[in-house]
Chain A
Amino acid sequence: MSAALLDEFGVGDARERDESWRYSKAALRALSQQDFAEADPHSTLDASLAASFDWPQTRGRRLVFVNGNYSDKHSDVANIAASMNVRHEGGQRLVLTVTGDSAEPVHLVYASVPGAAPTRWQAAADLELMAGRATVIVQHIGTAGADVLGALHSRITIAPGTELHLMTLSDLPDSISNYRRVNTTVAQGATCLFTDAIFGGRLQRADLNIGLNGESARFESRGVFVLRGRQHADTHLDIRHGARNTTCDVLWRGVADQRARGVFHGAITVAPGADGADARLSNKNLLLSAHAEIDTQPVLEIYADEVKAAHGATVGQLDETALFYLRSRGVPAAAARSLLIAGFCREAFAGIADVEVRGRLDALLAERLPHSHGDREEVAG
């Protein structure tokens, strides 16, 4: 089974696959020691799960998929803009085409609902932005129970001069694993803003591939993962500058508490001829426990001239001086830690213009961040 999952989620030859799954192979192997049955597309959502995607600002523009299958019952498409075309192919493949400005976000929800035994689902989403600007929110949620392994393959095409803000919010219980592959192409003068927030999950793997294919194409990414217990998240960003004067700006933060494991791989390639590229990548991580682990790998390959590139990655602990500063003003130690951890994560989202989106992220951070020190071990060794 292990080989089968690796075949499915890995790319390239055996050596490349091995390398790309280096820090998560054991987690994948452990996962694949189970037999997965096909997940039930007609599973019922419990009330709290249904409430978690009922956002006032996306009512009427919400598409819900239960175990990968489109759910008429939970979707609400009453107010989808005329400039948006929604098509379903066989229930599991969504094709969303945007042909003009749409001020309001579209909300895609992927809900994992467990069965009696381990189950798995897969789905696909094609998103084409042909004109104007659009915001798409993708939310991954699930109910605790037997293992569920979901896989979502997305293909995103961003046409010349358009602007897409794609925000993924993945907040999963410890029994749910998630594989996401997003292949994005950004055409001439187009912009892709990519915000990613990852909380929890047994194994969350994201392969985010971005091709800056047209001149002056721009990619901006802000992301954070927050993990505890034995949660494991592995994010691979692979950005290819394929044209002149292309820009990427990546700022990711990671927090791991208890025995959690975080992986961040940020690769930027500037292809021959992509002169004038400007590439920036920063990845900072916070370890809150001696048993947590974070691996970060920034990779920069440049084959063009006159390229500006800056990248940096750190893994550290809470700043004791900052902690003392807060405490010296009267903030109790545990609250001071929470403040610092939240501040560390919020930095990644400070520049997000959309107030609603930032509010959602803030609320999730407040809810999911560890509130005290990692020395309280809830997970047995």
Chain B
Amino acid sequence: MLKIENLHVRVAGKEILKGLTLDVGAGEVHAIMGPNGAGKSTLGNVLAGREGYEITEGSVTYNGRNLLELEPEQRAAEGVFLAFQYPVEIPGVNNTYFLKAAMNAQRKHRGEGELDSMQFLKLVREKLRVLHISDDLMNRAVNAGFSGGEKKRNEIFQMALLEPKLAILDETDSGLDIDAMKMVADGVNAMRSPERGFVVITHYQRLLDYIVPDFVHVLVDGRIVESGDKSLALKLEEHGYAWIAERRLAGAA
């Protein structure tokens, strides 16, 4: 579904990703772990189409198409979703209005009929109920005045509503207490399906106790240096990222 090959990305003249290669198949959950500054968030932003990232080498193919030539809204309509590390506060823009506009724009792009207000609200209530989110969230401005936990829940709610094919979660666990993290994990687990791929970017192993990944990759200095199954995350937790660096040095010697 997603094939990243030898991706090199510069941000403000500095190379951040230095030849990243990753394959995500439908139905798979891939965890990307790594120390601060390794390029984890850059990966998420590049996949979602944020401006300011210069791709100097490599390719990203999504369901057979060159993902990098699509606008962010086209990527969304094609099923790519990024849960932001820092969801943006947009005072004055109502959550319901925004999500209805987003959903109908996506449906229009895919040649599906637009939902009317009744159909949309029915869907919203359904998803809110499943995620145990109060519906006053929908009457508020997008993320405005939300607590850290509420913002992250709103991201998961949006994901549940928009039903992407490829969901990228950028440190969705950061700043969350254990209850909020479980809620996020429940939301993701409920959406796991054979047609859907996940890239879960995280700094800590803890989230992976709840979202059990099929694959774990360690991103250090712009490259994936180690891949394995879920046990790799546990080893990392035990030994820290320094362990990877040492292993690499040992391997090189």
Residues in A lying within 8 Å of B, measured CB to CB? 319-322, 324-333, 335-336, 339-340, 342-347, 350
Given contacts A330-B76, A331-B98, A333-B71, contact A342 B105 (CB under 8 A): no
Contact with A along B168-187 (1 / 0, CB 8 A): 00000000000000000000
Question: B102 within 8 Å of A by Cβ?
Answer: yes
Contact partner, A330, options B88, B90, B93, B105, Cβ 8 Å: B105
Contact with A along B84-101 (1 / 0, CB 8 A): 100110111100011101
Task: Verify B73–A339 contact, CB threshold 8 A.
Answer: no
Given contacts A339-B93, A343-B91, A345-B92, contact A329 B49 (CB under 8 A): no
CA distance A89 to B12 in the complex (A): 68
Task: Verify B92–A342 contact, CB threshold 8 A.
Answer: yes
Contact partner, B102, options A320, A326, A344, A347, Cβ 8 Å: A326
Given contacts A326-B102, A330-B73, A331-B102, contact A343 B93 (CB under 8 A): yes
Q: Which residue of B lies closest to A336 (CB)?
A: B73
Rounded to whole Å, the gap between the CB of A145 and the closest CB of chain B is 35
CA distance A6 to B97 in the complex (A): 46
CA distance A299 to B33 in the complex (A): 52
Question: B149 within 8 Å of A by Cβ?
Answer: no
Q: Which residue of A lies closest to B48 (CB)?
A: A328
Task: Verify B92–A327 contact, CB threshold 8 A.
Answer: no
For the complex of A and B, 9 pairs with smallest distance between CB atoms: A343-B92, A343-B93, A330-B76, A330-B106, A329-B102, A327-B72, A347-B92, A325-B88, A346-B92
How would you classify the secondary structure of chain A's contact residues: helix, strand, loop or mixed? helix
Add 11 more A-B contacts to A325-B88, A325-B142 (CB < 8 A): A324-B48, A328-B75, A328-B76, A328-B84, A330-B73, A330-B76, A330-B109, A339-B93, A340-B93, A343-B92, A346-B92
Residues on the A chain within 8 Å of B84, using CB: 325, 328
Task: Verify B49–A330 contact, CB threshold 8 A.
Answer: no
Task: Verify B98–A333 contact, CB threshold 8 A.
Answer: no
CA distance A347 to B106 in the complex (A): 27
Task: Verify A331–B88 contact, CB threshold 8 A.
Answer: no
CA distance A332 to B87 in the complex (A): 19
Question: B200 within 8 Å of A by Cβ?
Answer: no
CA distance A296 to B141 in the complex (A): 27
8 pairs across A/B with beta carbons < 8 Å?
A325-B84, A326-B102, A328-B73, A328-B76, A329-B81, A330-B76, A339-B98, A346-B92
Q: Which residue of A lies closest to B94 (CB)?
A: A343
Residues on the B chain within 8 Å of A329, using CB: 76, 81, 98-99, 102, 158, 162
Task: Verify B92–A328 contact, CB threshold 8 A.
Answer: no
Q: Size range of the interface on B?
A: 20 to 34
Rounded to whole Å, the gap between the CB of A350 and the closest CB of chain B is 7
Residues on the B chain within 8 Å of A321, using CB: 88
Rounded to whole Å, the gap between the CB of B227 and the closest CB of chain A is 27
Question: B82 within 8 Å of A by Cβ?
Answer: yes
Question: B103 within 8 Å of A by Cβ?
Answer: yes
B140-159 CB contacts (< 8 Å) to partner A: 141-142, 158
Q: Which residue of A lies closest to B93 (CB)?
A: A343
Q: Which residue of A lies closest to B72 (CB)?
A: A327
Given contacts A324-B51, A339-B98, contact A330 B91 (CB under 8 A): no
Residues on the A chain within 8 Å of B31, using CB: none
Rounded to whole Å, the gap between the CB of B172 and the closest CB of chain A is 15
Residues on the A chain within 8 Å of B2, using CB: none
Given contacts A333-B71, A343-B93, contact A326 B98 (CB under 8 A): yes
Residues on the B chain within 8 Å of A322, using CB: 88, 90
CA distance A326 to B88 in the complex (A): 9
Task: Verify B92–A344 contact, CB threshold 8 A.
Answer: yes
Rounded to whole Å, the gap between the CB of B90 and the closest CB of chain A is 5
Contact with A along B111-150 (1 / 0, CB 8 A): 0000000000000000000000000000001100000000
Rounded to whole Å, the gap between the CB of A65 and the closest CB of chain B is 34
Q: Which residue of A lies closest to B82 (CB)?
A: A328
CA distance A329 to B76 in the complex (A): 6
Given contacts A328-B49, A331-B98, contact A350 B92 (CB under 8 A): yes
Residues on the A chain within 8 Å of B141, using CB: 343
Contact partner, A343, options B90, B106, B162, Cβ 8 Å: B90
Rounded to whole Å, the gap between the CB of A347 and the closest CB of chain B is 4
Residues on the B chain within 8 Å of A319, using CB: 88
Question: B50 within 8 Å of A by Cβ?
Answer: yes
Contact partner, B73, options A320, A333, A340, Cβ 8 Å: A333
Residues on the A chain within 8 Å of B71, using CB: 327, 333
Rounded to whole Å, the gap between the CB of B44 and the closest CB of chain A is 10
CA distance A327 to B77 in the complex (A): 10
Task: Verify B90–A332 contact, CB threshold 8 A.
Answer: no
Rounded to whole Å, the gap between the CB of A104 and the closest CB of chain B is 28
CA distance A332 to B106 in the complex (A): 9
Given contacts A326-B98, A339-B98, contact A331 B105 (CB under 8 A): yes
Residues on the B chain within 8 Å of A332, using CB: 73, 105
